[in-house]
Amino acid sequence: MSRAQDRVGTWIGWAFFADLASALALTFGYMFSRSVTMQYPDKEKWLPYSRYRGHHFLTRDEEGEIKCVACELCARICPCDCIEVVPYEDEKGKRHPAKFEIDTARCLFCGLCEDACPADAIALGQQYEFSSFSSRDLVIGRDDLLAKPGKAATGGGVVAARLNTKKDVLVETKETQGYNWWWNIRRT
């Protein structure tokens, strides 16, 4: 082996060692720092940003009618085939969905249905707390989709919350207090 090859081998070894030492320093720095644990849902709750893609909801127009024209574009573009739309025409000749169901157990929450809708009838909202022991309970119908809340105007923070299990499992929030959890992470 020549001297040039020996120098290159030595240089690569020291570079690897320097990278390893900086990675271990970062690891030990986080290991001995204060941990950041979210006390969800007992004491605090995360408020999602307005761009967050949570549950689906259907919108209404100014007259209170459902905006959906049952064109079935959302069902066709859905990659996991979790949307089922059955159209009907009313006495005025307008199309509406007789059946509009979304199987959230199969949904990817990709937002393609929201992008494909020509009437802006379907959107993805801010609710992220839905679970069930049965997958049949995760199939959401038209009336439930109309009753869901819309998008969040603001968000991204953590607010004070209280878990209430007296009647149902319910998280009560107070939006006046809170903090930005991102700034609690140790930075150098």
| Residues placed in the known binding site for [4Fe-4S] cluster | 68, 71, 74, 78, 107, 110, 113, 117
- Which of 154, 159, 178 is CA-nearest to residue 50? 154
Q: Which residues are annotated as part of the binding site?
A: 68, 71, 74, 78, 107, 110, 113, 117
Which amino acid appears at position 84 of this protein? E
Residue 106: both structure tokens together: 């199969």
Contact 128, 143 (CB under 8 A): no
SS3 of the chain: helix, strand, coil, percent, to 5:
30, 25, 45
Task: Count Cα atoms within 13 angstroms, Cβ side, for 111.
Answer: 8
